[in-house]
């Protein structure tokens, strides 16, 4: 299998797509043909690692990493990804808990896989690959944790100063010498624009840049595996295809679910839950796709004004009229998120992070008919303790920290504050990496 750009560049191998991150023509990589599976292809799979091996095989055909696929999978899926049933009154619903990894958010899966692949591809380079990552909060921590102290690769994290939770800020800044954390005096959109601009700017020609944002195909593919695994288990137990509600920002996680369904996995409807950044739902309702400034919300990891993976979604499935039959979307306000966190706690006895609350809210907002005709899996994208400043006052309880987070919070922080411009960014990189 080869990989193509959404804007039409000639094909590249999987290894090239992983290293480049974004295509030379500015487009995003996708496989040149989607593999077709059916449920029986997975009948021998007893674990998520075995599901991953079957699903990933075709993508690795053209990769020098094929002999190491088992180890890459073992490194990526080193923590549980369970579905916990919810005690609902009518219909069936469960929470897909994607937050048991090192930084307690689903991004640990994609970041872990990408780091496992790239560190192997880059083992013998003179000029180390410098991974640039703009983050609205969770990506940066996951990528830094995944690449921390891996030889031959550096990471530069750009995050919006003051717009991430304290614990997220800690996770973005407590790493070793190969990680440079930049606290940008601006928004996530500024950070994302700086990453794009730096890749093409003369001030940075001595760096070999790579990307680890959700635009990297190496982030996207492994995310389709937990949808494959959860849907196969549900289908195996009940004979019914589960439908998913997915908290959505840059559209990476949701696109991974669309891909899994496209590959032939037993997935029903896919519903996107967004916060007050409602470009996606407005687009599906017929408005033009015009990137907006992002709005700050409680679900800060979803504060995205220009979701980059829409380019892939439109390439694969077409414009709003066609897309409406692929996904639906609901925008959830901060007030609704607060009420929903409270309601999940009183009704189900569970604490949910603000992002996860957009999914449970969206599920509740379905019609009775929709809720009972389908079985629903609601995606829990982060551990509530990561957003304790929002969640604890609402539920009136202190949340205990997962083990990994506790040890991370005891590490010292290092970061450099910069203005949202390329000059400040170049100075910070040159200062750190000039030896
Ligand atoms: C990144 C993130 C999201 C949004 O995921 P996308 O793939 O960008 O759509 C949702 N919830 C949490 C907790 C996140 O970290």
pLDDT at 435: 56
| Maximum mean pLDDT: which of 46-55, 146-155, 160-169 | 46-55
User: What's the 159 CA to ligand 1 centre distance in angstroms?
Assistant: 15
Atom 8 of ligand 1, nearest CA residue: 250
Residue whose C-alpha is closest to residue 102's, from 175, 162, 156, 50:
175
Residues 6+ apart with CB under 8 A from 409: 167, 170, 174, 401
Which atom of ligand 1 is found nearest the CA of 256? 7
Residues 6+ apart with CB under 8 A from 148: 155, 175, 176, 178, 179
- Separation CA 235–CA 232 (nearest Å): 5
User: What's the 301 CA to ligand 1 centre distance in angstroms?
Assistant: 5
Which atom of ligand 1 is found nearest the CA of 353? 13
Q: Are 191 and 160 in contact (CB under 8 A)?
A: yes
Which atom of ligand 1 is found nearest the CA of 382? 13
Number of alpha carbons in the 13 Å side-chain half-sphere of residue 188 = 27
Q: List the chain domain ranges.
A: 80-106+218-401
Which atom of ligand 1 is found nearest the CA of 99? 13
| Maximum mean pLDDT: which of 136-140, 216-220, 405-409 | 216-220
Atom 14 of ligand 1, nearest CA residue: 301
Give the torsion through C-alpha atoms of 280, 285, 288, 294, to 10 deg.
Answer: -30
Residue whose C-alpha is closest to residue 319's, from 294, 285, 349:
285
Atom 2 of ligand 1, nearest CA residue: 301
Distance, first Cα to last Cα, the chain: 40
Tens-place pLDDT, residues 373-387: 999 999 999 999 999
User: What's the 132 CA to ligand 1 centre distance in angstroms?
Assistant: 18
**pLDDT-above-90 percentage for the chain:** 84
Number of alpha carbons in the 13 Å side-chain half-sphere of residue 119 = 21
User: What's the 334 CA to ligand 1 centre distance in angstroms?
Assistant: 16
Tens-place pLDDT, residues 302-312: 999 999 999 99
User: What's the 302 CA to ligand 1 centre distance in angstroms?
Assistant: 6
Q: What six digits make up the tokens of 386?
A: 């990561």
pLDDT at 434: 80
pLDDT at 189: 85
The sign of the torsion formed by the CA atoms of 233, 235, 239, 245 equals positive
Instruction: Return the CATH number of 80-106+218-401, one of 3.40.250.10, 3.20.20.150, 3.40.50.12280, 3.40.50.1100.
Output: 3.40.50.1100
Q: Any residues with Cβ below 6 Å from ligand 1, and which?
A: 105, 107, 138, 214, 247-254, 301-302, 355, 381-382
Tens-place pLDDT, residues 326-362: 999 999 999 999 999 999 999 999 999 999 999 999 9
Pairing type for strands 179-184 and 416-418 reads: parallel
Kindly tell me if the per-residue pLDDT of 10 is higher than 90: no
Atom 1 of ligand 1, nearest CA residue: 301
- Separation CA 372–CA 146 (nearest Å): 40
Pairing type for strands 328-331 and 270-274 reads: parallel
**Eight-class DSSP state of 278:** -
pLDDT at 20: 85
Which of 226, 250, 254 has the most ligand 1 atoms within 8 A of CB, as the residue to mutate?
250
**Eight-class DSSP state of 270:** E
Tens-place pLDDT, residues 273-295: 999 999 999 999 999 999 999 89
User: What's the 181 CA to ligand 1 centre distance in angstroms?
Assistant: 20
Average pLDDT of every residue of the chain: 94
Which of 114, 222, 355, 361 has the most ligand 1 atoms within 8 A of CB, as the residue to mutate?
355
Q: How many helices (H) and strands (E) does the chain have?
A: 18, 13
User: What's the 244 CA to ligand 1 centre distance in angstroms?
Assistant: 15
Q: Are 433 and 202 in contact (CB under 8 A)?
A: no
User: What's the 43 CA to ligand 1 centre distance in angstroms?
Assistant: 31
User: What's the 125 CA to ligand 1 centre distance in angstroms?
Assistant: 32
Q: What six digits make up the tokens of 266?
A: 């037993």
- Separation CA 7–CA 23 (nearest Å): 8
pLDDT at 38: 96
Pairing type for strands 208-211 and 29-31 reads: unpaired
- Site of tokens 């009940």: 238
Calculate helix-pair angle for 138-147, 107-121, nearest 10 degrees: 40
Kindly tell me if the per-residue pLDDT of 99 is higher than 60: yes
Which atom of ligand 1 is found nearest the CA of 355? 11
User: What's the 251 CA to ligand 1 centre distance in angstroms?
Assistant: 8
């Amino acid at each position: 299998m080869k990989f193509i750009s959404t804007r039409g560049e000639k094909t590249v191998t999987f290894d090239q797509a992983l290293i480049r991150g974004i295509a030379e023509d500015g487009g995003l990589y996708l496989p040149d043909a989607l593999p077709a599976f059916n449920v029986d292809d997975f009948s021998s799979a007893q674990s998520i690692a075995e599901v991953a091996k079957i699903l990933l095989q075709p993508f690795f055909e053209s990769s020098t990493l094929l002999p190491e696929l088992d180890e890459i999978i073992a490194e990526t899926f080193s923590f549980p990804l369970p579905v916990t049933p919810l005690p609902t009154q009518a219909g069936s619903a469960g929470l897909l808990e994607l937050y048991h990894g090192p930084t307690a958010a689903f991004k640990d899966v994609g970041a872990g896989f990408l780091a496992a692949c790239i560190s192997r591809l880059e083992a013998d380079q003179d000029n180390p690959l410098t991974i640039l990552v703009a983050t609205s909060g969770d990506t940066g921590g996951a990528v830094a944790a995944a690449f921390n102290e891996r030889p031959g690769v550096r990471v530069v994290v750009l995050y919006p100063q003051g717009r991430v939770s304290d614990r997220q800020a800690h996770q973005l800044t407590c790493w070793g010498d190969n990680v440079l954390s930049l606290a940008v005096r601006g928004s996530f959109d500024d950070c994302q624009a700086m990453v794009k601009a730096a890749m093409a700017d003369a001030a940075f020609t001595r760096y070999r840049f790579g990307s680890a944002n959700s635009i990297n195909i190496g982030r996207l593919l492994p995310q389709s595996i937990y949808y494959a695994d959860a849907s196969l288990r549900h289908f195996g137990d009940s004979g019914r295809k589960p439908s998913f509600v997915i908290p959505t920002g840059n559209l990476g996680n949701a696109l991974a679910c669309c891909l899994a369904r496209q590959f032939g996995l037993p997935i029903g409807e896919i519903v996107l839950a967004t916060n007050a950044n409602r470009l996606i739902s407005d687009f599906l309702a017929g408005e033009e796709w015009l990137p907006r400034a992002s709005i700050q919300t409680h679900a800060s990891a979803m504060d995205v004004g220009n979701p980059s993976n829409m380019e892939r979604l439109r390439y694969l499935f077409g414009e709003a009229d066609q897309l409406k039959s692929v996904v639906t979307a609901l925008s959830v306000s901060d007030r609704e998120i607060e009420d929903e966190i409270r309601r999940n706690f009183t009704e189900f006895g569970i604490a949910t992070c603000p992002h996860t609350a957009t999914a449970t809210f969206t599920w509740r907002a379905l019609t009775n008919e929709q809720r009972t005709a389908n079985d629903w899996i609601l995606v829990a994208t982060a551990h509530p303790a990561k957003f304790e400043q929002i969640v604890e006052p609402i539920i009136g309880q202190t949340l205990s920290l997962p083990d990994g987070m506790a040890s991370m919070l005891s590490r010292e922080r290092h970061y450099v504050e910069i203005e949202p411009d390329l000059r400040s960014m170049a100075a910070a990189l040159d200062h750190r990496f000039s030896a």
